Amino acid sequence: MEHKTYWALKFLNFDEVLSGEKRKLQLLELEEMRLNAYESSKLYKQKMKAYHNKKLLKKDFQPGQQVFLFNSRLKLFPGKLKSKWSGPFTIKEVKPYGAVELMDPQSNNPERSRVVNGQRLKLYHGGSIQRLTTMLHLQDP
């Protein structure tokens, strides 16, 4: 049975030189398709990076300004129970590459501060803020 299969394959590929050339052309086409896919992927990544960078806003903060901080952890618990923005906080120091050190003016310890990404901040323009607090008075039964 193997002998018949060998002769059938040899009959189909009768001209070894021609079949070898055909195989080389197929390999070259495959290589060209791979390079085109690589180039296409590279262009896509460049376009997506440019789009993302265009959406980022350049924010210049100065020490002493008041800002709101976006609380991204609330995405895990959807609902309107808490505000997405917390604050206002006072800027203590602006660090390189968009990092900002914040102080909470209502904190008892003025030395306590935290460093956050400047993209999470929004400038506070003033006005009064109503903080919602709930007090429950518990009594012994």
118 shares a domain with 98: yes
Asked if residue 132 belongs to a domain, the reply is no
Could you give the CA distance from residue 86 to residue 105 in angstroms, rounded to a whole number?
13
Residue 96 is part of which domain span? 66-123
Could you give the CA distance from residue 18 to residue 8 in angstroms, rounded to a whole number?
17
Asked if residue 110 belongs to a domain, the reply is yes
User: Can you list the alpha helix ranges (DSSP code H) found in the chain?
Assistant: 2-12, 16-55
How confident is residue 122, by pLDDT bands cut at 50, 70 and 90? confident
Q: What are phi and psi of 116, to 5 degrees?
A: -135, 165
Residue 48 has pLDDT above 80, yes or no: yes
32 shares a domain with 73: no
Higher pLDDT residue, 136 or 22?
A: 22
Residues contacting 116, CB < 8 A, separation 6+: 69, 99, 100, 102
Predicted confidence (pLDDT) per residue in 49-68, tens digit: 999 888 877 788 889 888 98
Rounded to two decimals, the pTM is 0.48
How confident is residue 135, by pLDDT bands cut at 50, 70 and 90? confident
Asked if residue 34 belongs to a domain, the reply is yes
**How many distinct structural domains can be found in the chain?**
2
Per-residue confidence (pLDDT) for residue 53, from 0 to 100: 85
What integer is the mean pLDDT of 14-31? Answer: 85
Higher pLDDT residue, 79 or 112?
A: 112
